[in-house]
Each structure stands twice: as structure tokens, then as C-alpha cells.
Structure 1
Amino acid sequence: MFLNSLRHFSFWLLDTLKGGHVKKHYTEVTSILKAPNSKNAEAITSKHIGSLLKHATETTAFYKPYTGKTKIEDFPVIRKTVIQQNFEQFESSIHRGKNNYKVSTSGSTGVPFFLFQNAQKRHRNHADVMYYYNSCNFKIGNRLYELEVWRDHNKKGKLISWLQNVCQFDISRLTDNRIETFLNLLKTDNQKGKTLLGFASAFELIAQYLERNNLNDHNLGINCIIANSEYLNAYTKNTLNKHLDIPVLSRYSSEEIGMIAQQTLSSTESFKVNHASYHLEILAMDSDNHVAPGEFGRIVVTDLFNYAMPIIRYDTGDIARYKLDDDGVMEFDQIEGRKMDLIYDTKGNIISSFVVYTKFYKYYKLLQQYQFIQQGQKSYEIKLNIHDDDFPFEKDLIADIKSDFGDDAEITLTYVDEIPPLSSGKRRKVVNNYKLLN
């Protein structure tokens, strides 16, 4: 489509006129991520690490005590609360008060959190996003549908949306009628090479709708679906692929940090880690020791490009398991979500949230929503929002849960009319009100 090509050309022309910052970063990101273990990539990232540590210790009060330290492991692991309580100490004296960008998130806890980012960090983040978009056969200028909760504070104007070829579809209340509206919108949009980006829970509701109504459409002109912000379960991935014949991938990123990892068309099950812009560590649950491949641990990120507020060894609160590919490069094979929402069997062993999701797949045609809550060491509550007045599989569901959580598990089923989302629009399917790990 001519307009899309013009948009693509205009984006790069504008970047060139502004100094070509995004292009320079994109070239470097591409070079590193094509061969993260190459001597060239290691030399570049080593230089970035050294520059960041030097900058942080020389220009921030928080990191000044670590002056002279040259290894990331010499620095403390920090959490969101540490930054909140010492905000000004994390600000670089060089960048304080300058034309920085404010990025914020309510997080899954609903607690507001924000950081400042300098211009080069923003350019790098744009380059990161573009690289991963390209790995999903999407290029700037093509049609992008963004499924999220859109309000005045985050919604783009009509002109910007047209210029960027973006459709911001609101999913605040994704009823059957609303899903039908969305599908009709896709059908009447004649543009090719479309990409869908949005909350995993929204795509799950769309998958359920397609399955219930036995709808198939393999000619919507969509290249790829990218789910973000929440866990993408196998049901959603497989069902959308079956009914729409479209690859469905998962993205791991955050507003305050940026683009950390994503599944790609060449890696549909594993997350390709952004080694170009971040130093990633997977640390034990109860210590700052590194875990071995195949073990779950905390995702700890060092942002190599935010000089306005250097963030070193930031504990994201999320849990992942990693493996090494054929070239010895770390990639995530599973991301579990937040540590605060880890759940345990009656003996205190961690149970993957994936196990919980699988318990409900067979009942999806009967369910509008569900939520699994650990209320105590042995007590669990299941909230069900059902389509009809009756759910005849209570005993089967309870027995299935006990098979993994323990025969002594105390399970309560509660029927509700609505399971409201968080203020961000995200939906927590697994909740732990009994915290075994603090």
C-alpha cells in the first residue's frame, strides 16, 4: 500500500533530519542480537556496562558509595520500593531538571511508580521495539491495532493515529458485542500486513468467543498477534492460531524499563532476550545467587541506557526460567509473572501458574471469567463467572486441583457476576493472599 510505504519512508527521513539517532541504535541492536556471543557484541556491551557504572557512581548519590566498582555483581539488587523511597538519590546530577521523559506504570499491585528517561534512552527503546516488530514481520507504517484500556491520558489524537496508522481499540469491557465489533473492524480493513498488539487477557476472551461460535477466518490480512502485559497461555495461543491461522507471540516488557524479551516468528515458544540493551540475571528466590538453566528465579535487569536515572540490578518482581540456545545465549523458556502471585501446594512447594491455567481449559465454553486465589497454606478459592446458571463440574474441578495441590487442600468455589480488572486493565487470574516468601 502506497500510504504505508510513505509512512515508513517519512519515519526514517524524519529521524535522519533529527540526527539519525534511532537508526544508529537500530543498527547496533540488530548487530548485537544477531550474534550476542560474538566478540563484536561482547565488546560493545562491555563498553556500555563500563560507561553506565562509571556514570552512575559519579553522578548519583545512591551509587556514589560504589565508586571504583567495575562489575555489575558488585552492586546491590534493588526493588521498586528502594527507588520510590530514595527517588532523588537515583537522579543523575547531569540530567536532573533537563528535558527528560517521564514514564510511569501502576503495576499489577496498583501502586504508582515512575522514572525519568533521557533522550538517548528513548531512542534506544524505539530501536528495540522496531527490532522485535521486524522479527514478527511488521514494519513501521503498516497497520497496527493496539488493544488496551485507552483513556485521555494515553490515547493518541486522530491525526497522530492516522499518521502512524494505529488503531487504538478500547477493551475496558470486552463483551461479545464488543468482540464482534472488533472482528468486523478487521474484516472491513483492507490493509495487508496488519499486526495486533494487546493484553493477553483480551486475546483470550476473543479466542473463547471464536471457539464458542465456531468462527474461522483465515483471510484477515494479519501477519502476527503479539500479547503483552500478562501471561499468554497455551489455550489462547493455540485457539487463535486454529481459528485465524495467525502466529501468536508473547512480549515481555515494562513501561519503566522497556523491551526486555519477546517470542519471534523464528522462536515461537522461547523468548529472545534483549542482550543489546540490558544485562539480565536470573537470581534465586531467597538469595542473590544466580540460578542454573532450567530453574526458576527472579528476573533482575540492568538498563544500559537510562542515564537520567541509572537503574542497576533492578528486581522486576517477575519470575522466569531460562535455557541456553545452541550458541550458549540465554533465552527465557517460561515467564511466570510476579513473585507476589506465585502459588504453593499444601506442603509449600511452588506450583507453576501454567498448571492452574490448564485446569480450566476444558471448561472455557462455560466460563466468562475465572480467578484462582490462595487464601492460606492449604486453602484455595476459585471465583467463577459462568455463562449459564449452572456449573455441573464442581467435583471434577476440585478433584483436578487436589491432584496437584494436595489431597488435604481446602477448596472453595465462589460464583460471581464480574471479576473486575486492575486500574491498568490487566486481569490477575492467579492471586496469592497467603505469602510464603516475603
Structure 2
Amino acid sequence: MILNFARHKLFWLLDALKNGRIKNQLKEIERCVGHPNSDEAIQIKDVYLSRLLDHAVKTTPFYKALVDVHTISDFPVIRKTTVQENFEGFQSREFIDKPNFKVSTSGSTGAPFFLFQNEKKRHRNHADVIYFFQKANFNVGNRLYELEVWRGHNKKGKLKSWVQNVNQFDITRLTDESIEAFLGLLKSDKQSKKTLLGFASAYEMLAQYLEKNSITLSDLGITSAIANAEYLNPYTKSTLGKHLNTVVLSRYSSEEIGIIAQQTVDSPNSFVINNASYYVELLHLENDTPVQLGEFGRIVVTDLFNYAMPIIRYDTGDIAQFGLNKDGAMEFVQIEGRKMDVIFDSKGNMISSFVIYTKFYTYYHLLKQYQFIQQGEKEYEIKLNLQGDSFQFEKQLVTDIKSDFGEDANVIITYVDEIPALASGKRRKVINNYK
């Protein structure tokens, strides 16, 4: 489409007029993420890490006591609460009076959290976004549908949306009627290339609707569907991909940090780590030592580019598993989601969230929503929001749950009319109220 080509050219022309501040970053990301084990990539990362640590120690109150520390493993692991309780201590005195940018997130529990980012960090984020979009068959200028909860603070104006070729579709209440309206938008859009970016829970409801109504849309020109903010389960990934005739990929990112890892067209089932912009560690669940390859650990991230508020060894609250790709580079084989939502069987062994999701695949056509909650050591509650008036498979579901969680597990089923979303718009499928 000529207009999209013009959008693409205009974007890069404007960037060139600003000395290629995004293009130059993008070229470096391409080299470092594309070849993470190369001597060049390792050297670049080491230099960025050393500069950041030195800057943090010299210019922030929180890190100034570490003046004689030069190894990242000697820096403390921090959390959101650490930053919130010491907010001014994380601010670099060199950047306090500079034109920084405020980034915020409601958080998965609805608790507000924000940081300041310096200008170069913003440019790096933009370059990261472009790189990982390209790895999902999307180029600047093409049509992008964003499925999220849109309000005044994050919704683009009509002119900006047109210039960027973005359609912001609100998923606050994703009913059959609103899904039909969204599909109508896709069908009537004559642009040949479209990409979706949205909450995984919205994709799941869209996949259920398409499956229930036996709808396959194979000629819409959807280049990919990228899921963010939540865990993308295998059912949604395969079902949505089948009915929209596209590849469905998962992105691991946060508003306050940026894109940490993403599945790509070339790596559709594992996550390419953004080693160009972050130093990523996996640490044990109960202490701050690194896990072995193949073990689950807490995702701990150091942002190499935020100099306004250096964020070093930031515990994201999520857990994952490292693996090696065909080139011997580190990748995330699995990302399980929040540590606080990890579930345990009746003997205290950790159970992957994947196991829980599989318990409900058989009943998707009968359910609007479901939620699995561990209420005690051996106490489990299943909340079901039904499509119809009754559910005839209680005994079968409970037996299936006990097969993985223990025959001594106490499983109850509660029927509800609605499982509300969090303030962020996300929907927690798995909750641990026990520990």
C-alpha cells in the first residue's frame, strides 16, 4: 500500500534528520541480539554494564555505598517495593534536571508504580520495539491493531493513530458482540498487511469465539498476532493461529523496563532474550544464587540504558527456565508468570501453570471464564463462569486435578457470574493465596 510505504519512509527520514538516534540503536540491537555470543556482542554488553554500574555508584544515593564493588553479583536484588520506598535514592543527580520521561504501570495487583527514563533510554526502547516487531513480520507503517484497556492516559488521538496506522480496540468488556465488531473491523480493512498486539486473555476469548462458531478467516493478511502482558497458553496460541491463519507469538515485557524477550517467526516456541539492552539473570526462588540450565528461577533484569534511574538486578516477580538455542545462545524455554502465582501440589512440589491450563481445554466450549486458586496447603478452589446453566463434568474435573495435585487434595468448584479483570485489564487465571 502506497500510504504505508510513505509512512515507513517518513518515519526513517525524520529519524535521519535527528542524526539517526533510533536507526543507530537498531543496527546495534540487530548485531547483538542476532549474534549474542559474538566477541562484538559480548564486548558491547560488558562495556554498557560497566558504565552503568559506575554511573549508579557515583550519582545515586541508593548505590553510593557500593563504591568499591565492581561485580554485578555483589549488587543487591531489588523489587518494586525497594524502588517505591527509596524513590529519590534511585534518581541520578546528573539527570534530575534533564528532560526525563515518566513511565508507569498499574501493576498486576493494581498498585501504581512509576519510574523516570532518560532520553537515550527512550530511543533504545523505540529501537527494541521496532526490532522485535520486525522479527514478527511487522514493519513501521503497516497496520497495527492494539487490543488493550484504553483510557485517557494511554489512548492516542485520531491524528496520531492515523499517522502511526494504529487501531486501538478496547477490551474492557470482551463480549460476543464486541468480538463480532472487532472481526468486522478486520474484514473491512483493505490493507494487505495487518498485525495484532494485545493481552493474551483477549486472544484466548477471541480464540474460544472462533472455535465455538467454526469461523476461519484465512485471507485477512494478518502477518502475526503478538501477545503481551500475560501468559499465552498453548490452546490460545494454536487455536487463534489456526482460525486467523497466522503465527501467534508471545512477548515478555513491562511498561517500566521494556521488551526483555519475545518469541519470533524464526523462534516461535522459545523466547529470544534482548541481550542488547538488558543483563538478564535467573536466580533461585529462595536465594540470590544463579540456577542451573533447565531449572526454573526468578527473572532478574538490569536495564543497561536507564541512567535517570539506574535499575540494577530488578526482580520482575516472574519465573522462567533457561535453555540453549541451536546456535548455543541462551533463551527462555518457558516463562511461567508471577512467582506469587506459582502453584504447589499437596506435598509442596511446584506445579507448572501449563499443567493447570491443560485441565480446562476440554471444557472451553462450556466456559466463559475460569480461575484456579490455591487457598491452602491442600485446598484448591476452581471458579467457573459458564456459557450455559449447568456443568456436568464436576467429578471428572476434580479427579483430573487430583491426578496431578494429590489424591488428598481438597478441590471445590464455585460458580460465578463474572471473574473481574484487575485494574490493569489483565485477568489472572492462576492465583496462590496460600504462599
TM-score bracket for this pair, using the shorter chain length: over 0.9
Structure 2 Cα separation of the partners of residues 321 and 33 of structure 1 = 19
- Asked whether the equivalents of residues 370 and 385 of structure 2 are also in contact (C-alpha less than 8 Å), the reply is yes
Segments of 4+ moved more than 4 angstroms: none
Partner of 1:247: 247
Deviates more, 1:14-23 or 1:374-383: 14-23
Matches within 5 A, 1:350-369: 350-369=350-369
Contact 2:199 2:227 in 1 (8 A): yes
* 1:338 alignment counterpart: 338
Per the alignment, residue 114 of structure 2 pairs with: 114
Aligned position for 1:326: 326
Percent identity for Structure 1 against Structure 2: 65
Q: What corresponds to 2:91 in structure 1?
A: 91
C-alpha contact (below 8 Å) 2:109/2:423 kept by paired residues: no
Aligned residue number for residue 130 of structure 1: 130
Residue 300 of structure 1 aligns with which residue?
300
Unaligned runs of 5+ in 2: none
1:36 matched to which residue of 2?
36
One-letter code aligned to 1:373: I
Q: Is the Cα–Cα contact under 8 Å of residues 201 and 427 in structure 2 kept in the other structure? A: yes
Distance 2:152 2:85 in 1: 29
Q: Which residue of 1 aligns with 2:206?
A: 206
Partners of 2:325 and 2:151 in 1: how far apart?
41
Counterparts of 2:50 and 2:158, CA distance in 1:
43
Find the aligned partners of 2:242 and 2:119 in 1 and give their Cα distance.
Answer: 42
Q: How does 1:371-386 map to 2 (within 5 A)?
A: 371-386=371-386
* CA drift at 1:46: 0.8
Quick one: which amino acid aligns to residue 376 of structure 1?
G
Give, in whole Å, the separation in 1 of the partners of 2:373 and 2:319: 18
Matched-pair contact (CA < 8 Å) for 1:371–1:429: yes
Superposed counterparts of 1:280-295, under 5 Å: 280-295=280-295
**Deviation, structure 1 residue 193:** 1.5
1:117-161: CA deviations, max 9, x gaps?
Answer: 000000000000100000111100000000000011110000000
What is the CA deviation profile of residues 257-306 of structure 1, one whole-angstrom value per residue up to 9, with x for unaligned ones? 10100000000000000000000000000111110111100000000000
Distance in 2 (alpha carbons) for counterparts of 1:179 and 1:394: 29
- Between the aligned partners of 1:34 and 1:329, the Cα distance in structure 2 is 10
Which residue of structure 1 lines up, in the alignment, with residue 49 of structure 2?
49
What is the distance in 2 between the residues matched to 1:314 and 1:153? 26
Q: Distance in 1 between matches of 2:88 and 2:241?
A: 47
- Structure 1 residue 329: Cα displacement: 1.4
Would you say the 8 A contact 1:148–1:199 is kept in 2? yes
SS in 2 for 1:267: coil
CA distance in 1, matches of 2:253, 2:277: 12
CA distance in 1, matches of 2:97, 2:392: 62
Contact (CA 8 Å) 2:79, 2:315: kept in 1 or not? Answer: yes
For 1:263 and 1:333, the matched residues in 2 are separated by 10
Which letter maps to 1:419?
I
Deviations 1:9-55 (A, max 9, x none): 11111111222111110011111111111011111111101110111
Measure, in 1, the Cα distance between the counterparts of 2:131 and 2:420: 35
Normalising by structure 1, we get a TM-score of 0.98
Q: CA shift at 1:322, angstroms?
A: 1.0
CA contact (8 A) 1:190 1:221 kept: no
Question: Match of 1:211, as an amino acid?
Answer: E
Partner residue, 1:70: 70
Q: In the aligned structure 2, how far is the partner of 1:197 from the partner of 1:241? A: 13
2:383 maps to amino acid: K
Q: Deviation string for 1:178-216 (max 9, x for gaps)?
A: 001100100000101210000000000000000100111
Q: Which runs of 5+ in 1 are unaligned?
A: none
Does residue 151 (structure 1) correspond to residue 151 (structure 2)? The answer is yes
Shift of the alpha carbon at 1:69?
Answer: 2.2
Could you tell me how far apart the structure 2 residues matched to 1:193 and 1:70 are? 48
For residues 67 and 144 of structure 2, the distance between their equivalents in structure 1, rounded to whole angstroms, comes to 45
Q: Is the 1:4–1:142 contact (alpha carbons within 8 Å) kept by the matching residues of 2?
A: yes
- Measure, in 2, the Cα distance between the counterparts of 1:344 and 1:431: 11
Deviation at 1:88, TM superposition (A): 0.3
Per-residue Cα deviation, 1:47-105 (whole angstroms, up to 9, x for no partner): 10111011101000111111132221121111111111000000000001321000011
Task: Tell me which residue corresponds to 2:262.
Answer: 262
Report the Cα distance in structure 1 between the residues aligned to 2:67 and 2:3, rounded to whole angstroms. 52
Structure 2 counterpart of 1:301, one-letter code: V
* CA RMSD after TM alignment: 0.7
Equivalence for 1:170: 170
